[in-house]
Amino acid sequence: MLELRKSDDRGLADHGWLQSRHSFSFAGYHDARYMGWGNLRVINEDRIAPGTGFGTHGHRDMEIISYVLSGSLAHKDTLGNVKAIPPGDVQRMSAGTGVRHSEFNHAPNDTTHFLQIWIEPDEAGVAPGYAQKSFADADKRGRLRLVASKDGAEGSVSMHADAALYAGLFDAGESAELALDAARKAYVHLVRGRLTVNGQVLQAGDALRVQGESRLTLSDGEDAEVLVFDLAP
């Protein structure tokens, strides 16, 4: 099963300082058909205006991944982490028993554009934690690079969830395949550009819900940046 969802069909929130597209039900956006997919619960495409951001707020029992597309995201939390997250970095915060943090765009003129991703953990009540790693474009060019996984395989960021996240960059003539367990679920989110996945043409912001497939084939990219999730059923 391949189910295409177009970018403009996502939820939209306009807070002035924040423009957000919701792939799944979140805050004031609710659609019973899109409550998550497997253990993937949230993909929010956020644009934060210069000099603004999310004030200190709390989370529990969620694996939260930030994937910055342009600009820089300033992160500060009650674990003592004060970090800048640039494009190419993958940040994971395990909320566990509870953590508070803020996210801010300190740039005077530039918008911060990033994806906020929530994945449900395997178990509740783990100790909060933080990890951040950089992945060069060259490592993602024409292939799917593992950037987050349960066991931190291949130098990826580890997380307390039965899931794997791959990132790839594709232009004309570049292609890749990913073997899937047909008993699991997968999710493809096209960050930018154009890409064909198993015969389906995706444009920026489009996504595919995948179930019962044994392989993904990615091809015909045009300035494409893509995230692929291997998820618990």
Total of domains in the chain: 1
Query: How much of the chain exceeds pLDDT 70, in percent?
Result: 100
| Per-residue pLDDT at 139 | 97
* Mean pLDDT, rounded, for 139-145: 98
| Per-residue pLDDT at 223 | 97
pLDDT grade for 155, boundaries at 50, 70 and 90: very high
- Rounded to the nearest integer, the mean pLDDT of the chain is 97
Show the 3-state SS of 155-196.
HCEECCCCEEEEEEEECCCCCEEEECCCCCEEEEEEEEEEEE
Pull the structure tokens for residue 153.
């395989």
Global pTM reads 0.96
Closest alpha carbon to 112 in 131, 91, 86: 86
pLDDT grade for 221, boundaries at 50, 70 and 90: very high
- Cβ neighbours of 108 (radius 10 Å): 7
For the chain, the straight-line distance linking the first and the last C-alpha, in angstroms and rounded, comes to 14
- Cβ neighbours of 125 (radius 10 Å): 10
Angle (CA) 87 117 198, round 5°: 85
Strand-pair category, 63-70 with 89-94: antiparallel
How many C-alpha atoms does 144 have within 13 Å on its Cβ side? 23
| Per-residue pLDDT at 4 | 97
Cα–chain-centroid distance for residue 14? 20
| Per-residue pLDDT at 157 | 98
Report in angstroms the alpha-carbon separations of 138 from 42, 88, 135, 144, 222: 28, 11, 8, 11, 16
| Per-residue pLDDT at 112 | 97
Residues in Cβ contact with 146 at an 8 Å cutoff, skipping those fewer than 6 apart: 153, 154, 156, 164, 165, 166
| Per-residue pLDDT at 30 | 96
Query: Largest Cα–Cα distance in the chain?
Result: 48
Cross-strand bridge partners of residue 100: 58
pLDDT digits (tens, 9 = 90+) for 20-59: 999 999 999 999 999 999 999 999 999 999 999 999 999 9
191: domain range? 2-231
The enclosing domain of 57 has a CATH number of 2.60.120.10
| Per-residue pLDDT at 160 | 98
